[in-house]
Structure 1
């Protein structure tokens, strides 16, 4: 076990959990719900660091993440506490943690895109040229940017495909950018190309360009949404046999550390690579885990944020609260079940270590 990698993992995992709890804290303060303690790490307490308002900020022994202790969390009789707040405020507080994890995913995607660059969808680059195709006969080469067909500027892959389709069987003039030089070639798109090839006989991609952090934000939100969608679709894909049980397997902290350690090793091995995507595996893994944590906490499972929200929703509609003693009992049972499940998952992580593809 590499000590430095272990310390990096503890820091990453701690930050991920800290951000989650900080989301609960911020929203609770926004709705004027008393927060008795914000703990760095988990108890037992080592020392009280400082106090802001009614909130004690403490340092605790177990160096993973943080926790928030809300006043009257399970007791609606406590004035100014979580339990006595209106249902929409309680739902907002519970959503604060998962939402902060998803926002952290957006930030991590943005950091990654500033390192790797992003595809410029306004430009089309040749990724491969089929032997004997019209493109090969015209002298088109991998890496060329296609900037015009006849006098029509190329603004996307879809637009290029449509333009080529309109000119099947006709000679067209294609203007390429090769390095800093513009060159023009003539080609006749095939009416009936061989199976697996297009009319010109090329495959296309978008060139990667450097971007500022600000430019990455919209794409990062979309990437976070797509990652969340993939996680939600995983059970269905598993049932349909599109992914294996190993690929869809649930992992705990031991399994996450194993993947983190493998990703760090791969990044170190690829440190000299000219492809930035080969040097950011750890960052990509951190992003996926952060989004998964936020999303998992929204599942309607007792003891998780989503499970607690599920108990509040009837109150929003009927104005009648589920008796706290029943809710607390269900969450206690759910918590015990989650602990037992975590022991099982940890045993699987140890006995059958996960391997990154």
Structure 2
């Protein structure tokens, strides 16, 4: 437009600020939401509160109380960073920087590769007591035999087919022999023994990678919570950039991409994990903040039709000292829009296929 009040007539800095405001608002709101959630729930740090004996971490001289600083040369901001690098690089040996008593040292860790397998589950996980996985139920997954049979959090599993169990290892050992056969499970609920008939379900697991570590959980003050929320947001933004690079390099398959259907499905699954109304609200806020960060970061990518591309064009205009012809800018945006539509259709196909296959 030739109108002096038109957007394209505004100073470059003003146009850049307006364009960047949307994605940055996504990030800002997400940090606020995360700060609220983490102030209530606490958060997992990168310090270790448990290292399993004879595990890959133990054999790499990593100890309880150590703090993981870098994995394969990449800075670690939250436990999920380690998991992401572990799986993207398919469990290859990696150099790990660890802080112990204020001093940093480097060690080599060789993750344990667990082949693709079938396992049988009841549908609950257990509480960790004094660093060990107990036989007390922590959460019950929805639409599983555990929920259908009536098991509840805080139930203590004491017998399986009259075989005494006292921790998670005993339960796993029993299941490795029992497979999918029906089980009479005896639990202690409020001091009363109760027996449930439950048939485990089979789950196919892809190849997994195991380090043998568990992270320390912390309830920080307001400044620590805000600091962690900012680190979490930055880590998520960085992982968006890494994901694009990994897609191009072939480390991550395009079949792993998800779209609106998959996002809605994931939100539903995450919320259902909550056992109380407050838990469900907190889970919903947490994943909403994660999605908000991912959307904001993606929108800043310099790809045609995204805000990041508009910022790049403004930068080019600043270097050239003259604007890019509107018809060329429109052509670039149209190409990007077509590609985005194709990607959207592809993700809908992926999401629909996952739903049909049950995952």
TM-score (norm 1): 0.50
Q: Which has the higher contact order (CA 8 A, sep 6+)?
A: 2
- Highest Rg: 1 or 2? 1
TM-score (norm 2): 0.50
Please state which structure has a larger fraction of its residues in strand: 2
